[in-house]
Amino acid sequence: MLSKAHLVALYPRAPQAYLDAFAATADAVFARFQISATTNRLYFFLAQIAHESDALTLIEENLNYSAQAIVNAWPKRFPSEADAAPFARNPEKLANSVYANRMGNGPPESGDGYQFRGRGYIQITGRETYQAIGAIAGLDLEGSPDLAEDPAHALLVSCAFWQWKNLNAICDTGDFTAVTRRINGGTNGLADRVAWLDKVRRTFANPPTADDHPPPTDVIAIQQALRAQGMTEIGAADGLIGPRTISAITRFRQKAGLPPGLIDNQLRAALGLPAASA
């Protein structure tokens, strides 16, 4: 079953308060919403929230956009940087504009757009969504929207969203892309979501050990060595074991004829790096 070690392996950058609350409530909350009833339900859930919350580190929607970023995100609403300039680096004004008069929100002056911006592990958004999910969870999310990002309630809220969207039934078909569409309205970020699903599966297939999470300086050396071997998907050597690093390790291990796994002394030896100290 899901343990604290699994959570640390999956989401190593998550704040401790979120990891502790997640671990403490997971068994009861997953059982209540029948998410732990099948492997697909559990794995799909863990992968989707990883993408939506950037591995439990982005619990509140970041709307601190530059003018160019606003144009890129909402080109029809803001056709030029001049149109976007009044909203640049002003998250409250931007949210009140782009989320106005939809999802149950009032006009910009109501403040609903910012009050009901994306929050929690799955970024629930809009007054109607907060109302509906609050009713399922037994929380007054409309009256106290901050509860959606509270460590004590974040998992419960995400699971209530899961039920609201009837996602267990889609998980049971095995169609991960269809789950993404139901959450996102499209397939935005699908490649990253699939990479997270791969990480979830590998984490459960290979029980986490201390060696899976070496010091950041060690990870950076491994990332640099992988990149030198042509694993360009690794991106910047940042010391974090995220989806791109998992993908690069997986591909290199296959190429080198190594057994499935993550970071171990076999990988280090194949990369020409010293073994981890005992």
CATH at residue 25: 1.10.530.10
Q: Would you say residue 243 has pLDDT above 80?
A: no
Give the least confident one: 32-36, 95-99, 183-187, 217-221: 217-221
For residues 24 and 155, is the Cβ–Cβ distance under 8 A?
no
96: in domain: yes
Q: Are residues 40 and 80 in the same domain?
A: no
Say whether 215 sits in a helix, a strand or coil.
coil
Q: Confirm if 115 and 91 have CB atoms less than 8 A apart.
A: no
Predicted confidence (pLDDT) at residue 209 exceeds the cutoff of 70 = no
Give the pLDDT of residue 207.
63
Looking at the fold, whether 9 and 98 belong to one and the same domain comes out as no
243 DSSP 8-state letter:
H
Q: Has residue 51 got a pLDDT over 90? A: yes
Long-range pairs for 187-195: beta carbons < 8 A, 24 or more residues apart: 189/51, 192/51, 192/243, 193/47, 193/48, 193/51, 194/47, 195/243, 195/244, 195/246, 195/247
217 and 89, same structural domain?
no
Choose the final residue of a domain: 110, 138, 172: 110
- If asked whether residues 46 and 135 sit together in one domain, one would say yes
| Full-model pTM | 0.76
What is the per-residue burial (b if ≥16 Cβ within 10 Å, else e) of 187-204?
Answer: eebeebbbbbbbbbebbb
What whole-number percentage of the chain has pLDDT above 70? 97
Q: Looking at the 3D structure of the chain, how many domains does it have?
A: 3
Assess whether 92 and 184 both reside in one domain. no
pLDDT of residue 208: 62
Angle made by CA atoms 29, 30, 32, in degrees to the nearest 5: 65
The answer to whether 166 and 174 are in contact (CB under 8 A) is no
Q: Domain for residue 194, yes or no? A: no
Q: Could you tell me the pLDDT band of residue 278, with boundaries at 50, 70 and 90?
A: low
The answer as to whether 249 is a domain residue is: yes
Q: Does residue 203 have a pLDDT over 90?
A: no
> Does the residue 9 lie in any domain?
yes
**Does residue 276 form part of some domain?**
no
**Region 41-50 average pLDDT:** 96
Angle, nearest 10°, between helix axes 154-164 and 127-137? 100
Average pLDDT, the chain: 92
Residue 212: per-residue pLDDT? 54
Query: Which of 160, 189, 218 represents a domain boundary (last residue)?
Result: 189
**Sequence letter at residue 50:** A
Range of the domain at 149: 4-59+123-189
Segment 130-158 mean pLDDT: 98
Q: Residue range 51-58: average pLDDT? A: 94
Residues 107-142: pLDDT tens digits? 999 999 999 999 999 999 999 999 999 999 999 999
Above 60 in pLDDT, residue 39?
Answer: yes
Burial (CB count <10 Å: 0-12, 13-18, 19+), residue 259: exposed
Whether residue 204 is contained in a domain is answered as no
φ and ψ of 54, to 5 deg: 50, 60
Residues 183, 133, single domain; the answer is: yes
pLDDT above 90 covers what percent of the chain? 74
275 in a structural domain = no
- Asked if residue 11 is part of any domain, the answer here is yes
